[in-house]
A and B are shown apart, each in its own frame.
Chain A
Amino acid sequence: MDYNWDWGVFFRSTGIGEEIYLDWFVAGLGWTVAVALAGWIVALLLGSLLGVLRTLPNRWLSGLATLYVDLFRNVPLLVQLFLWYFLVPDLLPEPLELWFKQDLSPATSAYLSVVVCLGLFTAARVCEQVRTGIQALPKGQTAAALALGLRTGQAYRQVLLPQAFRIIIPPLTSEFLNIFKNSSVASLIGLMELLAQTKQTAEFSAHLFEAFTLATLIYFTLNMSLMLFMRWVEKKVAVPGLLAAGGK
């Protein structure tokens, strides 16, 4: 294969200012993490709310949450992103639209769109996990909480959710990892996150394989460390005797 391997390329100047290619990767990783974490906060909050709604006896509320889940799970992520980035700003009231299109830097407006998009997209998945977690609890838990005089809200906050969240840490972890991987779609609306920086490095330096190998390694390491971190969290918050998998 007539390919000129050169792993030193990352320490070479990009030709733009004093930057070396490695700086691009660091900046890209920064955006990836910033997108994923902000999106995750949105997803966790909204997803938990929707998950609770789906378990309520009120038909309208649970129907609304079901509708949300069906809608956001059946439209491809990329289509959703284009809708948020290209369509939604035009539907905003005039002052907001101008603010989004003129006052914000291109990176900020892309960032906002992708955070909203990933947050709402992942919320549908988180919702399903939360619902599963709540429904996995014995019915007696709700009954006992209500019999003790707790209101529905209190029962959820103090009895059901704390247990449900512990049960669903493993599936939530995989959604958490997914949001990091999914954040790569941001490269398609011009946000210079990890994948976009990788492509740019590949094009600028002509060292395609090195660039993509490094990107892969970064994603792989990120994934593994987040997984270990979540396992640690799972152990940390486990209530002894509550779950077989939680502790000894």
Chain B
Amino acid sequence: MDFSSIPAALPALWDGLQTTLQLLVLGVLGGVLLGTLLAMMRLSHNRPVANLAALYVNYFRSIPLLLVITWFYFAVPFALRAITGEDTPVGAFASCLVAFVMFEAAYFCEIVRAGIQAIPKGQMSAAQALGMTYGQSMRLVVLPQAFRKMTPLLLQQSIILFQDTSLVYSVGLIDFLNAARSRGDIVGQPHEFLIVAGLVYFVVSFAASQLVKRLQKRLAV
């Protein structure tokens, strides 16, 4: 094992890590947003709307993420052409991001739904008795409390997403893992680079999950 060529590769690895982090942050934001919307749909009294959201969630939860990434890599350019009517070149980054947002939304939806359901019904009734509309009571009363409760779970899911971003390797996007793999191949030390990549993923996720555990303890009353 010879790790001497790692320092020279650091800028390239850092570029890859930035792609990974961008995917993570945008994926989490988009996923939580869409997930919250889906959760409200699932809890809606309108049957078809609730069923539609349930179908979405069950569908995405029963197929592998890698399948979604691969499919969207091919399908997003197609779909865009259908919508805009002209060839719109999209890179792997955009298609992967769409895949992550849509896939993770199914998981975030379940977390948000559980969070909303954990808020006592009286909160909603009280808000409405004060004259708020349904939307206002959701936005101002129920959701702020629900999000506080589910922060640890949302963060845990984000750590999983951080690890899952490595799957973009399959469509050739240069994320952290792919940067490490290609660098390792160039300098002829694939093993060393793979080990370093594994270590970095480990350190980041381990530290993050320890922090989440701490947070969970602090939030628990």
Chain A positions within 8 Å of B, measured between CB atoms, are 1, 3, 70-71, 73-80, 82-83, 86-87, 90, 177, 181-185, 187-188, 195, 198-199, 202, 208-209, 212, 215-216, 219-220, 223-224
Contact B81 A216 (CB under 8 A): no
Q: Which residues of A contact B70 (CB under 8 A)?
A: 195, 198-199, 212
Contact assessment for A83 and B198 in the assembled complex, using a CB-CB cutoff below 8 Å: yes
Question: Interface 1/0s, chain B 69-82, versus A by CB < 8 A?
Answer: 01100110010011
Residue from the list A76, A87, A184 in contact with B201, Cβ < 8 A: A76
* B74 lies within 8 A of A76 (CB): no
- Is B18 an interface position by the 8 A CB rule? no
8 nearest interchain CB pairs?
A223-B62, A76-B163, A181-B64, A1-B82, A184-B64, A74-B205, A76-B166, A184-B66
Residues B66 and A86 in contact, CB atoms below 8 Å apart: no
Query: Quick check: A195 and B81 within 8 Å, CB to CB?
Result: no
Secondary structure of the A contact surface, majority rule? helix
Residue contact A195 to B64, C-beta cutoff 8 Å: yes
Complex-state Cα separation, A186 to B202, whole angstroms: 21
B191, A86: Cβ atoms under 8 Å?
A: yes
B153 to A: closest C-beta gap in Å: 15
Residues of chain B touching chain A, judged by Cβ–Cβ distance below 8 Å, are: 59, 62-67, 70-71, 74-75, 78, 81-82, 163-164, 166-167, 169-170, 177, 181, 190-191, 194-195, 197-198, 201-202, 205-206, 209
How many pairs, one residue from A and one from B, have CB atoms within 8 Å of each other in the complex?
Answer: 99
Q: Which residues of A contact B191 (CB under 8 A)?
A: 86-87, 90
Do B198 and A75 have beta carbons less than 8 Å apart? yes
Contact between chains at B67 and A79 (CB < 8 Å): no
Q: B64 near A219 (CB under 8 angstroms)?
A: yes
A77, B67: Cβ atoms closer than 8 Å: no
CB neighbours (8 Å) of A70 from chain B are 206
- Residue pairs across A and B with Cβ atoms less than 8 A apart, 30 shown, are A1-B78, A3-B78, A70-B206, A74-B201, A74-B202, A75-B205, A76-B164, A77-B166, A79-B201, A82-B181, A83-B198, A87-B191, A90-B191, A183-B64, A185-B167, A188-B66, A195-B67, A198-B70, A208-B74, A208-B78, A209-B75, A212-B74, A215-B67, A216-B59, A216-B63, A219-B63, A219-B64, A220-B62, A223-B63, A224-B62
CB-nearest residue of chain A to B170: A188
Interface centre among B64, B81, B194, B202 (most CB of A within 10 A): B64
Given A78-B177, A216-B71, 10 more A-B residue pairs with CB atoms under 8 Å apart are A73-B209, A79-B197, A83-B194, A83-B195, A87-B194, A87-B195, A90-B191, A182-B64, A187-B170, A224-B62
